[in-house]
Amino acid sequence: MYRASFWVPAPRSLLFLSTTYRAKLSISMVPRTTTHQDLPPPSQPSKYASKEEIQQAIAELRVVLPAEGAVSTDPDVLQTYGHSDNSYHPTSPHSVVVRPMSTEDVVKIVNIARKYRMPIVPYGGATSLEGNFAGIETGDICIDMSGMDKILEIHEADSDLVCQAGVQWEIVNETLKDKGIALFFPVDPGPGATIGGMIGTGCSGTNAVRYGTAKGEWFLNLTAVLPNGEVIKTRRRAHKSAAGFDLTKLFIGAEGTLGVVTEATLRLAPLLPTKVAMAQFPDVEHAVSAVQEILNSANGPHIQCIELLDDNMMAAINSAGEVSRKLPVSDTLFFKIQGDKEGISVAAAAVQQTVRRHGSTRFEFAQTDEEATELWESRKYALISTIGSVPGSRCWTTDVCVPPSRLPQLVYETKKDLAEHKLKSTIVGHVGDGNFHALILFMDDKELQKVSEAVHRLVHRAIRLDGSCTGEHGVGVGKKEYLVAELGENTVELMKTIKRAIDPLNIMNPSKLYPDPVDEKHK
């Protein structure tokens, strides 16, 4: 809403580019200016633009991006783009915010950044939680991709489409629905997330139990601008290829540290009828224990989502007043069941029998779409209800992921830990794949420190259970200190080697993702 006061994005319309024009985007646009001999050693700090050089770079950006509002140095804008109300990691304002409309615009920006050795920070929907788009203290160029928001091609017969990186995933599905195409893009992170940001963080969402994550096969290819200004396309549009290793996945989860993704080909899935069910339990352990039995049964393929909301979350939802119907305060599983009418009915009956064996005290199955929408409201408003449950409080949202069989232990130990430290929290989890979110409330800086320490313990608890420090939020600034503990020194060093080879000047979103030397203490 704030940005609308100084810049109005292009309308979200379909734009069909010619084959000749699009082919040009897959070739090199400028000569390579660095070689492997230029790579700085791992311990050598990067040297970035001086204050004078930053101003020269901004002046050149205004020349190559002459449209009104395409280049902004308004202090309020720079602060807004470098800060997130949902993140409590170090932040810094950007030096300049630029708004490209095409891959060619991004090439121009990258060439100027390389010329002056000025860092680049890509910016999508601003929904990330780990400081992924925070500014760089030495100065940087923030590339706001929201103007590149066009769906370029739809191939219904092939179940895929091509779009720019600034498109929001909901717009993709709304466009398909409006055109009467019975397909959808199933990767569903938070509202407002853009395709480029989803690629950068390797995100997922409630549908992951059935459709997997961004690191699956949902991105067939990418167009990206490398740090040397060259444009590559990671592969053709064929739905499978054995031609070399998978460069598409190299960029997924790289958080903009290897280049700027400008376009993507999305694989689509059939849109199936879906119904909602709910089961309540005396405690979280009983709830989680039922999940794997359901997924491993013959009816497992009918399960699209399994979401856990703990008793604290249900109480927060009831008190927030966002939902049309209050439900009993109890640890609760919400299911989305998909398929034809008969398959859904059989699966729902099987789920009811299974949860009853695991101590369920209440089960509901929505018979109509209206009932399903009403029942799912509790899951939909979980985050906003938590934030509003304690007036004047703030909320730290974090996530980890463990093998699903270890989730009951993780949930039990975490709830016990938070209670012992008198921290108010709610829990929501994509329990079908072991992904666990804790939303922890605090009132002041003293409590913020307690929350930070609790998150630290949670991460190490997950890693001890053979899990991950981040299930879907990405690494950014907030989780990079844990990568050595999770992946090992050699694996992290391989990641750094790839980074140095592709970005020897270290201008692509530096200080994110890759652990600093000081982080070795957390291994």
* Res 216: pLDDT: 86
* Res 24: pLDDT: 38
269 C-beta neighbours (distance < 10 Å), count: 15
Out of 14-28, 413-427, 493-507, pick the least confident: 14-28
* Res 518: pLDDT: 65
* Res 119: pLDDT: 97
- Spatial distance between the Cα atoms of 47 and 333, rounded to a whole number of angstroms: 51
Share of the chain above pLDDT 70, in %: 90
Structure confidence by residue, pLDDT tens digits, 359-375: 999 999 998 889 999 99
User: Contact at 8 Å (CB) between 426 and 310?
Assistant: yes
Side-chain half-sphere exposure of 42, counting CA atoms within 13 A: 12
* Res 399: pLDDT: 95
Q: How confident is the model at residue 46 (pLDDT cuts 50, 70, 90)?
A: low
Going through 368-499 in order, the beta strands assigned E by DSSP cover 394-401, 425-430, 435-442
Structure confidence by residue, pLDDT tens digits, 187-220: 999 889 999 999 999 999 999 999 999 998 999 9
* Res 248: pLDDT: 97
Longest Cα–Cα distance of the chain, Å, equals 70
Question: In this structure, which amino acid lies at residue 263?
Answer: E
* Res 195: pLDDT: 98
Structure confidence by residue, pLDDT tens digits, 111-125: 999 999 999 999 999
Q: Reply yes or no on whether the pLDDT at 437 is more than 70.
A: yes
Structure tokens at 194: 């853009």
- Spatial distance between the Cα atoms of 206 and 309, rounded to a whole number of angstroms: 13
Residues 6 or more apart whose Cβ sits within 8 Å of residue 387? 393, 395, 439
Structure confidence by residue, pLDDT tens digits, 388-426: 778 888 999 999 999 988 998 999 999 999 999 999 999
Q: Reply yes or no on whether the pLDDT at 512 is more than 90.
A: yes
Structure tokens at 489: 């020194």
Q: Reply yes or no on whether the pLDDT at 12 is more than 80.
A: no
Q: Reply yes or no on whether the pLDDT at 250 is more than 70.
A: yes
Side-chain half-sphere exposure of 11, counting CA atoms within 13 A: 3
The mean per-residue pLDDT over the stretch 147-151 comes to 98
Give, in degrees to the nearest 5, the angle at Cα 55 between 50 and 59.
Answer: 145
Query: Domains in the chain and their CATH numbers?
Result: 55-144 (3.30.43.10), 151-270 (3.30.465.10), 274-473 (3.40.462.10)
Q: Reply yes or no on whether the pLDDT at 519 is more than 80.
A: no
Is beta strand 274-281 parallel, antiparallel or unpaired with respect to 331-338?
Answer: antiparallel
- Spatial distance between the Cα atoms of 346 and 15, rounded to a whole number of angstroms: 43
- Spatial distance between the Cα atoms of 414 and 395, rounded to a whole number of angstroms: 17
pTM of the predicted protein model: 0.88
Q: How confident is the model at residue 383 (pLDDT cuts 50, 70, 90)?
A: confident
* Res 90: pLDDT: 82
- Spatial distance between the Cα atoms of 204 and 214, rounded to a whole number of angstroms: 6
* Res 26: pLDDT: 37
Q: Reply yes or no on whether the pLDDT at 38 is more than 70.
A: no
The mean per-residue pLDDT over the stretch 366-386 comes to 88
Structure confidence by residue, pLDDT tens digits, 313-328: 999 999 888 888 999 9
Residues 6 or more apart whose Cβ sits within 8 Å of residue 335? 276, 277, 278, 279, 303, 305, 306, 307, 351
Q: How confident is the model at residue 179 (pLDDT cuts 50, 70, 90)?
A: very high
